[in-house]
Amino acid sequence: MKKKWIKRGLWGFLALLLVAQFFQIQKENPTFDEQADLMAIHQPTAKQKALLEAACYDCHSYKTVYPWYTYVVPVGQWINNHIKHGRKHLNFSVWGSYEAKKQAHKLEECVEEMEKGKMPLKSYTWTHGDAKLSAEDQAELLAYFKQIAK
């Protein structure tokens, strides 16, 4: 009797998971003024640009690249929540719309979060190997943020 209920529960869970696949997240990036983007305003070197795109821009801009696994519910919803949260706190695509005081504060936070090892998120680097920053890469990005802050 117990095995029968376990089997039904498993089939029910699989059916629910299958139905959930029809409820996908929105994967289109909003349009924005490219001239307001951080990298348009504060020209990074080629290496800095590559590091920003690899480690920051998927969650902190309107230039998100959605990998194949975002099509799997609930993984896609979990990642979408990360993106929404990231953009809410810092969005490099609208950098030019921030007041100078807010820009200075955001730069301080970028430096602080990176120095504490909180950014990029560990869960992000698990699936994005190029986002794992070496000490040299981290120093390069920190120098960029500090240079802008001057």
> Distance from first CA to last CA of the chain, Å, rounded?
71
**Residue-wise pLDDT tens digits, 111-136:** 999 999 999 989 888 888 888 999 99
Query: What pTM was computed for the model?
Result: 0.85
- With a cut of 70, list the residues of the chain below it in pLDDT: 1
Q: How far is residue 149's CA from residue 146's CA, in Å, rounded to a whole number?
A: 5
Please tell me the predicted confidence (pLDDT) of residue 1: 62
Domain boundaries, the chain: 2-149
